[in-house]
Amino acid sequence: MIPVEKLVDHVRTYNPNSNVKLITQAYEFGKEMHAGQTRHSGEPYFTHPIEVALLLAQQNLDDSTIITALLHDVIEDTQATYRQVAQKFGVDVARLVDGVTKLTNLELSSNDAKQAENVRKLLLAMSKDVRVILVKLGDRLHNMRTIKHMRPEKQLQKARETMDIFAPLAGRMGMQWMRDELEDLSFRVLNPEGRSSILRRFLTLRSQTEDVIPKITQDIRDVLIKANIEAEVVGREKKPYSVWRKMQEKGEGFSRLSDIYAFRILTANEEDIYRTLGAVHHRWTAVPGRFKDYLSQPKSNGYRSVHTTVSGRDGKRVEIQIRTRLMHEVAETGVAAHWSYKDGQRVENPFAVDPFTWLASLTERFGNSDDQDHEEFLEHVKLDMFADQVFCFTPKGEVIQLPRGATPIDFAYAIHTRIGAACVGAKVDGRRVPLWTRLRNGQSVEITTAEGQRPQSSWIDIAVTGRAKSAIRRALREEHRDGYVRLGTELARVALEHVGKKSTDKALATAAKKLGLKNKDALLARLGSAEMTGSDLVGALYPELLSKDATHADQSIAEIVGLDPGQYAQPGQCCQPLPGERIVGIATRGKGVTFHTIHCEKLVQYEDQTNRWIDLRWTQGRNEPTNNVTIEVTMANDAGVLGRICTLIGEQNANIADLQFTERKPDFYRMTIEMQVRDVEHLHHVMTAVEADSDVARVLRTRQKSPLQHEENGAK
């Protein structure tokens, strides 16, 4: 285990004014809280937070971020509470630790709907404080470095999540070194054979050409000396995943790749960048189409550099990046440079991007989208947020930023949806090109439009950006809407009849609401256009009917964490808390604790008795349907309605404990149903199934105890 002295000594190297005492206290507190816990490798668990803290210290980050790294798991995995952390280390640290805890609970590799919602939460956490993401990225990097100790299926899940979300996010934040390592560690899990083949090719190449990197490095140094330019030159082989990705993108073999070597030249000032570029191009032949100037058009995360590819020693093509040392600091640490320290002071790097400005520009392109469909939202995020960018110009000289691989269709929609919809052709640098042409940096694009033109279905495959794809889909849905709705109506009828249910307007409207769609016609259109399946519809209304044969034997039981040895807890009858809800305990006489939902009105009575409050939470897991809850149902006064409702509840594997009518009218009844469910998610399934019945007007959860409700046994 890394001693605290090593951590604080490193922090002192860049911040002599660091609060060493507080960092040491955080180290000891975290070590105490995690005592007895181990990782999958068998090591003490606290080795992980220390490694994350050291990782972030190597980025010269502030004390609050380092302390957060040491404590990032204490609220989630130990008896420590938010209040304790705030009292000991300040509200700023407690807020950061709480933010990391919430991100840890996000399932970013779950189904599209849940993933979209969780990615939204990820972005929200970033907008509040980017340091939350910096700690989370450090946490993920160390977990990926030690992933071999996890179960194989867990390794695949974490590697895919890292490749899809965290590695691109690190790159978009400007932390390219972290992106490279996260991608390579994920590549090792997802495609070990592919990675090994790349490494073998590198070994073969070295044996054939000896080590060419030092030779080319010296060639570049000689050119700079001759031009009287003082600069640092560093060369390297590209990471295996970077090489593999280029092979897949270009459809070429390893031997035909032109840029498996990369060289970096760090100059003293900006003027020397272009002098260096001139000297390099004077000595070697530049490869056409491989020049990128990120000085005149910096990336949104602050990245500035000039890239060129030349035919170097023995005709080998090499990529050369030229930038100043200050630009290089931003290129290595990205938005983290905003919190970097040097000699005890915050570094004032003129090229570092204010992270809040950066986030505003990042979310602007998809945050205001009026299309709330989860699949299209994820396309916005993954294609617009995570992709490398190209910069193209309108005929008036305005700059349009697009992801790499974008086409004139994307360019047209980036200007305006109306321009995109009416696009019939495009000119690039004055020459007419097909709409599927991939745009490159610095090109001038002119869009030709025609009145009456409509988006074509083939454009879906041509477009790259989420904005263009969303607009094209909307237009196509509107154009073929009537046909899709008719087909979707039949598909819905068949899907629901298959599980013994009727496809009523009420059922379809309830499903649309559950799936986040505007109305039942929007749902039917998606069914008819094959963007949704019948199983999606059934799962939204009656999930228990889809999963009734599934086994959950491998799932742990949800239990309450936070009780002292010997304490027992019972739910408050006023709010009937369920597993999955946020809860708080109130100490009673003896060793009893009554727990309530966090929003229970009864907690107001204990505002002045904070010594009786106990932080509690449910562990993740699955219970039997033994937790009491009460719902209020307003239904039509008609024959057979009550029987159907009771059947629906039974089909959802909930138990009815009591039923009582509270209001009887000629046309409707209102009743309360006390039932037993597994958890809050199970309750939502039951309420959705009941609400879908055409004779049910309203379903509400009521926190009032019914007169016949029995006292519940305390659960330890």
The catalytic residues are 76-77
What is the rounded CA–CA span in Å between residue 127 and residue 448?
A: 38
Answer for the pair 233, 265: CB distance below 8 angstroms, yes or no: yes
H-state helical runs in 334-372: 355-367
Q: Which of 537, 370, 386 is nearest to 470 (CA)?
A: 370
Answer for the pair 503, 448: CB distance below 8 angstroms, yes or no: no
631: which 2 tokens?
Answer: 């719902």
**HSE-up (13 A, CA, CB side) for residue 18:** 28
What is the rounded CA–CA span in Å between residue 492 and residue 534?
A: 6
Answer for the pair 556, 621: CB distance below 8 angstroms, yes or no: yes
DSSP symbol at 197:
H
Q: Which of 595, 604, 558, 602 is nearest to 577 (CA)?
A: 595
The CB-based long-range contact list for 711-715 (8 Å cut-off, 24+ gap) reads 711/573, 712/570, 712/571, 712/573, 712/628, 713/570, 714/568, 714/569, 714/570, 714/592, 715/560, 715/568, 715/569, 715/570, 715/571
Q: Which of 445, 389, 443, 442 is nearest to 420 (CA)?
A: 445
Q: Which amino acid is at 253?
A: G
Report the first-to-last Cα separation within the chain, whole angstroms: 36
- Region class of 179: left (phi > 0), else alpha (psi between -120 and 50), else beta: alpha
- Region class of 149: left (phi > 0), else alpha (psi between -120 and 50), else beta: alpha
Answer for the pair 137, 175: CB distance below 8 angstroms, yes or no: yes
Residue given tokens 């001139």 in the structure block: 278
What is the rounded CA–CA span in Å between residue 446 and residue 146?
A: 51
CB atoms within 10 A of CB 250: 11
Instruction: Give the H or E element holding residue 278.
Output: helix 270-283
Answer for the pair 304, 323: CB distance below 8 angstroms, yes or no: yes
174: which 2 tokens?
Answer: 């400007």
Beta strands in 350-422 (DSSP E): 389-393, 399-403
Backbone angles phi, psi at 663, to 5 degrees: -155, 130
Answer for the pair 686, 675: CB distance below 8 angstroms, yes or no: yes
What is the rounded CA–CA span in Å between residue 57 and residue 11?
A: 6
| Count of residues making up the chain | 716
CB atoms within 10 A of CB 397: 7
What is the rounded CA–CA span in Å between residue 621 and residue 678?
A: 10
CB atoms within 10 A of CB 396: 6
Positive or negative torsion for Cα 643, 644, 645, 648: positive
Answer for the pair 395, 444: CB distance below 8 angstroms, yes or no: yes
